[in-house]
Structure 1
Amino acid sequence: MPGLPPMVAPPAELVDDPLTAPDATNAVGTALKQVLEERLRQSRTVDPVFARELAACLTALVERGGKRLRTAFTHCGWRAAGGSGDTTAVLHTGAALELLQACALVHDDVMDGSVQRRGAPAVHVQLARQHWASGMHGSAESFGTSAAVLAGDLALAWADDLLTETAFGTPHGRRLHEEWRAMRTEMVAGQYLDLRAQARRSSAVDEALAIATLKSALYTVARPLTLGASLAGADDQVLDALRAAGRCAGLAFQLRDDLLGAFGDPAHTGKPADDDLRSRKLTYLLAVALRLADAADDHRAAATLAPDADPGSEHAVERMRAALTRTGARELVETKIEELTDMAIGHFEATGADHAVRLEFAALVQRATGVASRRAEEVA
């Protein structure tokens, strides 16, 4: 197809089974690097300034990486559906997911006003600094925000191009694209509902769970699993089992992320630990804490955690953390994560995947949630 780079083959030693989840995580970095190099070359032919300032900034974010969990789950879904042999399409689907993730992160940081991502300044902050350093006119902050929106759009375009190319190269491309298309819409819906909840100062538990599912759980675990399975020509029974397993594991992942957003160490997470608290973002953790505070007539905790409370100083954030713990919300969320991981392992067993693949999934879920499932011990 004109304008698209050729499929980038993974390292020769990784083409044939067995390819483990850690192997897939490492191999997608190689494939992604080659894709990004080709995209940058294309960008230079469009305009060297665009390539140097915007495309290169996006590329740097992608190359700083992350856990590459989506690629690992894609590979796991492929194996669960009987996939074997050439892994090129799997790795390219994983690379497309990494680019889509970059789009989500860039836009999310703009909307949340976050200043740090993956241990470095967020893209809109970097672009604002470029504006200031170059002595441009106008607001550096406004420029950075506007340019970051374009960077996120560029990441989405690159992701769609790569997924489309991959779909054209597989006999199961139509099903692959259907999964991808559904995932993109779910992501946008989740982000919109998140914004809407903040604007409405909502504190509903069900609403928090719906946002977590759409915004994170589906596109972090459930859809990657079914994207991988689609590449292997999975039937509806396997796809349904993977969707159920992925929804549970993905939600557990998001609840863990909520806890890290409130109590995590920025040195380990690569992002500030108080953004969600200061903005009173509707998380399951916060919604549960407010419900528990109301049930216990803990008016001090309710006032501290209320959506319309003034975030104030660092001391106010510490009071929020204390309230999240005192109400029992922190402990309840930990329990919910454990329950969801057990459910995920149970649903995955319905795929009929062999023992090695079930072990791989259990290990990935533990990596995503920080919890060793009791059912995973039974699998082992």
Structure 2
Amino acid sequence: MISFQLSEQQKQIKEMTHWFAANEIRPIAMEADRLGKVPDEWLDKVNKMGIHLNTSSFSGGGGEESSRKSKKEREGNRMGVLATEQMAWGCPAITLSLPGAGLGGPPVQSSGTPEQKERFLSIFTKEKPRWGAYALTEPEAGSDASGVKTTATKVDGGYILNGQKIFITNGGRASWVVAFATVDSTLGRAGQRAFVVEKGTPGFSCTKLVKKMGLRANETAELLFEDCFVPDENLLGGEKLYEASSNKPSGFQVAMKTFDSTRPIVASMAIGIARAAYEYTLDLVRQEYPKGGETSALAAEMLAEVEQNIAAARLLTWEAAWKADFGLPNAKEAAMCKAYAGQMSLDVCSKCMELLGPIGLDGHLVEKLFRDVKIFDIFEGTNQIQHLVVARRQYAAYEVRV
């Protein structure tokens, strides 16, 4: 049974990250949003403090076979959701801008060879800020990740990549990008491969930094591969990982496995945003509306529902992280918490804007959070895609029972 009691280490992580969010992130959040970037000197400072967004320390749930085996308890996923909720409470855009492997970390950690893990994950040190990135989305392949059009043509010593990637978090400044491409479009998902493409590789370029409604302080890039040669040693997992066999993954499966660990992280960030909007609004409502009045009662009822929904989203997210830590299949739970938390946070921010009225207009924290939160029911798979993931597993379970 899941325990809702935090361990001493988990309490320390929660307290430490909240202190950092309150004292280092929140004070610069509004200015970073206005400028559209996080100050370089701030990134240098936090990097020297050893604070990185290394989601490679989180691991997804296992398959059916791993669920039958005893697993040594891990805490990385639970630590991750605790920490990212607090950091996003400070500012989600700044949290996503922290140096580290970011979303590129999980596929390297889970599918990379020992040499690749050492080579690509060891660069994140206190020496200077560095970033990793995850490049899956294309103009014609977003929710349907199986529709990737970027090609990888085999040549002596490596592959030639051609194609475009869009909406890539930290893609312009990343030291390397995990990019997904197909070696044979007729094979569908089975033809996909994952490559680590390093910054400065000929034929690989950042063509645009996207201006956005929300998360303005976080860099979002468009990337282009034009006859870009990637050596064999940068094929994630090596050739053997993709050999024809019933238990060998494709690049598509590598991408989906990544989501099982990162979707709870995205959900926890949405929860942090909702909590920030709720707490800010609650404080102002207490000041502006005298206790006992009709308006005060209405506001109290709305905020009570908000607090309830935040708590429900948190418990869903903790379950998904708990399963991942024990090596249990968690794809359904990861999809459920991501879908619920994203929509919940959007609803919370909308309600808070209604309650605040003119106080919540441009230049105030809740207005910024309202802009930031919309992407959380879109990226890492839209809510509709999450519902499909859940539905497929429901039907699969039904077929097993009958």
Asked if Structure 1 and Structure 2 have the same fold, meaning a TM-score greater than 0.5 normalized by the shorter chain, the answer is no
With the length of structure 1 as denominator, give the TM-score of the two structures. Answer: 0.28
With the length of structure 2 as denominator, give the TM-score of the two structures. Answer: 0.26
Going by fraction, where is strand more abundant, 1 or 2? 2
Going by fraction, where is helix more abundant, 1 or 2? 1
